[in-house]
């Protein structure tokens, strides 16, 4: 399964979704993993497309039944990767791009140690704060919580994570090209 599972991790606001959206359509053999979450949908998000939106009770039942590859409580909401989704995509011969926080990546690696890690970093914490403010989707309290968590996550990833690649997202097209280079099919190169 080497070169079939790619895990991107980044602090909220570092630009991983923008990078993914810019690049993934160029790779028809790669699907984007859909996570389950108890977070409320944001404007425009669709169940089964952006996330599998679950109630807290539904998510906790998935945990109890061991139906998740990894899961975590992040910003007071559960997030996790359904095993069934991963297995279905692999059975269809797809490569999969995951978006997991650094703690989820550690747990994911216990099940899929052959996965390739891609750490997306903002140019600075100040730039990260600016991006979160520009997004205008969260309150000041939530933004501060995300910034505090970002510092911890980045430090943890650098010290304990298994990331074969690091992309500093300071110039979008440059960062996108770095991601393209990582995702090129190693069997076609």
| Per-residue pLDDT reduced to its tens digit, 14-47 | 778 889 999 999 999 999 999 999 999 999 999 9
**Residue 187: pLDDT band with limits 50, 70, 90:** low
Mean pLDDT in the chain? 88
Residues 6+ apart with CB under 8 A from 87: none
When pLDDT is cut at 50, 70 and 90, the band that residue 53 belongs to is very high
Whether the CB-CB separation of 106 and 160 falls below 8 Å is answered with yes
pLDDT value of position 75 = 75
Topology of the domain comprising 5-183: Rossmann fold (3.40.50)
Q: What is the DSSP letter of 9?
A: E
Weakest mean pLDDT among 6-10, 46-50, 132-136, 155-159: 132-136
The confidence score (pLDDT) of residue 188 equals: 47
Closest CA to 94 of 2, 184, 5: 5
Q: What is the residue extent of each domain of the chain?
A: 5-183
Strand partners, 53: 37
Predicted TM-score of the model (pTM): 0.82
Distance CA 13, CA 134 (A): 10
User: Residue 114: pLDDT above 50?
Assistant: yes
How far is residue 5's CA from residue 21's CA, in Å, rounded to a whole number? 17
Query: Residue 6 pLDDT > 90, yes or no?
Result: yes
Residue 186's pLDDT is what?
Answer: 62
């Amino acid at each position: 399964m080497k070169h079939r599972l790619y895990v991107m991790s980044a602090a909220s606001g570092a630009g991983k979704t923008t990078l993914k959206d810019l690049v993934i359509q160029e790779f028809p053999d790669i699907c984007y993993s859909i996570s389950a979450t108890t977070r409320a949908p944001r404007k425009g998000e669709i169940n089964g497309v952006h996330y599998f939106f679950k109630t807290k009770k539904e998510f906790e039942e998935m945990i109890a039944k061991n139906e998740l590859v990894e899961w975590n409580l992040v910003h007071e909401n559960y997030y996790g990767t359904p095993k069934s989704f991963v297995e279905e995509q692999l059975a269809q011969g797809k490569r999969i791009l995951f978006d997991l926080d650094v703690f989820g990546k550690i747990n994911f690696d216990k099940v899929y140690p052959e996965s390739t890690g891609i750490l997306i970093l903002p140019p600075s914490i100040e730039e990260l704060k600016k991006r979160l403010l520009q997004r205008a989707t969260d309150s000041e309290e939530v933004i501060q919580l995300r910034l505090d968590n970002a510092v911890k996550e980045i430090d943890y990833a650098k010290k304990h994570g298994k990331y074969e690649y690091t992309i500093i997202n300071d110039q979008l097209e440059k960062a996108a090209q770095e991601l393209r280079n990582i995702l090129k099919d190693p069997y076609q190169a």
